[in-house]
Structure 1
Amino acid sequence: KIEELENARAEIQKLGGDITALNAQIEELDKLKETVKSLEKYKSMYFRVKSEVDNANRLAADSKNTADGLKTMLSQQDSMMQMQKQALALKDQNISTLEQERAELSQKVALASILKADNIKIIAVSAKGKEKEGDLHKAKSISKLKIAFTISENRVATKNTKDIYIRIVEPDGATISTSTETLSGEFSYNNKTLFYSMKTSILYNGYITPVTVTYTKEDEYKIGKHIVEVYCEGSLIGTGTFTVE
């Protein structure tokens, strides 16, 4: 259109005609052409920006979907972890309960396996071999002291050789530990070290087992009440008394 007007303007100018109006039209068309170019440029920019915005929106939507998916996954994992924690806590509680029950059972077995010395008899033996059973004895009539008792039946206790420790405690609380025939020594009881007057060993098979020991003291027994204590495997299993006058 502009080229046609320019050609017409050239022809009119050759002929000496007035081209003022034609120049105005051409100028107006040039301005319109520049306006169209600007519009095309902005249109292109618009579509480019719109495309970028659309891409950004898609990325944002994808990111949101991904984030939502991750949140859901994290929530599921958190739930699973909570369930696992609860399961572990329950397992630990069960283990603790079982350990406690086992400890209680072990304690019951340990208590049940403690032996018991019954029917403790104190027999004074004179120098002539005459025996007198009872709780009261004269000092001069005691050449030897025979101590007899029975270990009760216990099917829970371990069947093996048992060391029996016997303490003869004088009225002042001292342990008699001097003998011409037996060796004295030490043993542990309740985290303490005690002296024993004599020690003997028996083969215990769970049934009633009689035990008799004889103790010979180097000097006379002190006047007053004496206590006989019988120990086995760290426990006091029986006591008896006799009085010397």
Structure 2
Amino acid sequence: MFIIYGLSAVLVILFIFFMVEWSKNKKHIAAIHQEKELLTQELSELSTNYDQLKTSNDTLNEKLMVEQEKIATLLDEMKKFRDNSYAEINKYKREIGTLKTVLRSYVVQIDSLNRLNQQLVQENTQVKQQMDWVRERNTKLENEQKSMQKVIAIASALTAENFTVVPINKKGKEVNWKKCFQLRADFVIPKNVTAQRGTHIVYLRLKRPDDKVIAFSEKSFFKFQNASLTYSAKREFEYEGERLEMAIYWPNDGSLVKGKYTAELFCDNENIGSTEFYLK
């Protein structure tokens, strides 16, 4: 009986010990499982954080993909883990800590690259604005130069004043059209200090009442703008910038008729004067 009582007591003690250890082991497994769930959640958040990192640097993108692959591998391993080893849990904690450290370093690098890119974009914008300003100023200067050249061209062009045409006889006296020996075109080239000095040619162009131009000859043409015009008479003269009185004579070839005529003067590719006169 004593032996039976002794064995019963031992069994009771063993049962109690077993229940205590079983309870401890259950709590241990529950704690490991909770740790596993937390680590799995951390890995998922890490994966999301890596996904959110944006950069245009190809080398850095390749490194980020390597870290993503490590996270995916750890997640697969944790699915197979049976919640029975703190050593495994600690290993995963160390690897997750390393991943977090690497993530922070990449965040710093990407932030630095983004700031650098923003600085470069700002500098490029400033350079573009400066280039636009330079182009705009150059265009403005070119337009001003063209305008100035036009003003200078206009100012330097010769002009004719007091332009008249009269029919005269051989003695130079004014007569009617029937007794006309020749037509005399009188005009004045005023003083112009900006005009080109040297030899010039002035062309006289006479148009009859029927709008027919009186030609000096069949080959009497001169260039005006982009056209060839017929002239009635011409004269070469030297101009030195001072006032110059001139006359051009057209010999009557019998083509005169009664009526209103138009006379024009051309010099240096410019129409420098025009007038109307009547032959009675």
Give your verdict on TM over 0.5. Answer: yes
- Show the counterpart of 2:191: 153
Partner of 1:184 in structure 2?
Answer: 220
Q: Distance in 2 between matches of 1:131 and 1:199?
A: 19
Shift of 1:231: 0.8
Aligned pair count reads 220
Q: Select the structure that is richer in helix.
A: 2
Tell me what 1:132 maps to.
173
Residue among 210, 218, 225 paired with 1:172: 210
Q: Is the 8 A contact 1:161 1:202 kept in 2?
A: yes
Q: What SS does the corresponding residue of 1:80 show, helix, strand or coil?
A: helix
The one-letter code sitting in structure 2 at the alignment partner of 1:146 is R
* CA 228–154 in structure 1, closer or farther in 2 if over 3 Å, else same: same
Taking the aligned partners of 1:96 and 1:139, their CA distance within structure 2 comes to 57
Q: How does 1:64-79 map to 2 (within 5 A)?
A: 64-79=107-122
Q: 1:228 aligns to what?
A: 263
Alignment of 1:21-60 (within 5 A): 42-60=85-103
Query: Gaps (5+ residues) in structure 1?
Result: 1-17
Equivalence for 1:210: 245
Q: CA deviation at 1:177?
A: 0.5
| In 2: Cα distance, 1:53 partner to 1:67 partner | 21
In structure 2, runs of 5+ residues without a counterpart are: 1-6, 33-83
* Alpha-carbon distance between aligned partners in 2 of 1:172 and 1:116, rounded to the nearest angstrom: 27
1:23-62 per-residue CA deviation (whole Å, 9 max, x = no partner) reads x98xx99xx8xx8xx99x8232122211110110011111
1:74 is paired with a residue whose SS is helix
1:140-192 alpha-carbon deviations (Å, 9 max, x no partner): 2111222222211111122232221110111111110046xx96224324x44
In the alignment, what sits opposite 2:228? 193
TM-score normalised by structure 1 residue count: 0.75
Alignment match, 2:144? 101
Paired residue type of 2:271: L
TM-score (norm 2): 0.67
- Is this contact kept in 2: 1:178–1:217, CA < 8 A? no
Aligned mates of 1:86, 1:117 — CA distance in 2: 50
User: Using a 3 Å threshold, how does the CA distance of structure 1 residues 183 and 210 change in structure 2: closer, same or farther?
Assistant: farther
3-state SS of 1:228 partner: strand
Q: Distance in 2 between matches of 1:111 and 1:92?
A: 28
Q: What's the % identity of the aligned pairs? A: 23
Q: Distance in 1 between matches of 2:134 and 2:255?
A: 66
Question: How far has the Cα of 1:196 moved from its partner?
Answer: 1.1
Counterpart of 2:171, as a letter, is K
